[in-house]
A and B are shown apart, each in its own frame.
Chain A
Amino acid sequence: MLRARTARDLLLSGFALVPAVLLALGCTDDENKGYAPSNCKHSEPTTGFLRVELTINQTNHRVPLTIFEGAYEEGKVVLRDTVDVEDVSYELRVGKEYSVLARYISGRDTILALDSESLDVASDEYQDATCYYVEEGKADVRLHD
């Protein structure tokens, strides 16, 4: 939730709209990238890393985690894990959208935190080659009060 926003921030938010649109319409990608770096991947990767952020606290020191392919109702479970760290990464196939579900206890309530992220391949064009990479996927299933 956004809280304690000042009048100045609100005013600047409004004023920012005009150049934001102008910049969005006016930008062109004419950057000369030069030659490909030595770590360039010349073929499309088939897997990438999905980073998952969790909340670990006194009540939830080990958090059950499930990763689904697609929406979680579709039930295509890719992996299950129980995690005791706040930041963890899993290597998964690219070109798919994943839903991450973490289960927390909060007082007498159970909180099922859900987020989704896709792992997509992108590329950079250089003068001598095309380099492929996987855009970082980050799922945030921390507790947000």
Chain B
Amino acid sequence: MAENNRAVLQLKEKYAASIIDVVEFRGEVTVTVRKDAIIDILSFLKQSLQYNLLTDLTAVDYMGKKEDRFMMVYLLYSISNKDRLRIKTSVSEADCHIPSATQVWRTANWLEREVFDLFGIVFDNHPDLRRILMTDDWEGHPLRKDYPLQGPDREPYKGRLS
């Protein structure tokens, strides 16, 4: 159970005020935390609990479904302990900033560039925050739910005419 997870126990002890939610689903533990403590928690997980591999870093757009529009997702793996942990934190559209995780895992560099490119979330203290997939002169962030699928310069598809 999630309550007995080694990371959850330690996090609840140390960062009780910053933990919003703990969920276990089919053996996968997800901890939702506050944005202002994210780097402290990620550093603690890496330094003290050996979550030394950042498997993936991505974001979800919950436009119109949640109060805070974006959710950052960090998928961690501990090579020595062979267990996984998912950390989530919400980012609002009005304050679309989050501290960069590059100081914790260097692999966050390109992953954060991808999230910046496709969702428009700005990572503070990122060493090289440029677009990585779209062209440099691209306008908008294509994975946002309000981005038109066929691009802003085209008539949207309205279904088959025949």
The answer to whether A and B belong to the same complex is no
Q: Hey, which bits of chain A sit against chain B, CB under 8 A?
A: none
